[in-house]
Amino acid sequence: DADFVFSMGGDGTFLRTASFIQDFERAPLLCGINTDPHRSEGFLCVNHAAAAPGEGAGPPAPTACPVGHPEHVDGFLACLSSPGVHYITRQRIRVSVVLPCGSGAGVAAGGGGQW
């Protein structure tokens, strides 16, 4: 059992990591860290807190935790437990597409994994 799960990459990595968390009653906090905030903006991962003023995506976080560089990891981990950190709860939905037999319609599965 984990208290935190960290996803390092982008939004796609965050969504893939979230798909592995199955126990919704005891789900750990999932924190996505955008490892390349200057190349991709992303909306699910922390990325703008480490940017200099005028850079990055969106407004500053309520409590800006330093991320984006390996030397900031210790400060970021300490920041997660500070009183001013704002957590966002996201809902998930599982969707299945069922086609009638012999319909001739195909569904291309992306990513190669089962959801």
How many Å apart are CA 37 and CA 68, to the nearest integer?
7
For residue 8, the SS3 value is strand
Residue 111 belongs to what domain range? 1-115
Q: How many structural domains is the chain composed of? A: 1
pLDDT of 1:
76
Residues 39-51 have a mean pLDDT of 66
pLDDT digits (tens, 9 = 90+) for 12-22: 998 899 888 88
Residue 83 tokens, joined: 């009183």
The b/e string for 105-115 (b: 16+ C-beta within 10 A; e otherwise) is eeeeeeeeeee
Average model confidence (pLDDT) for the chain? 70
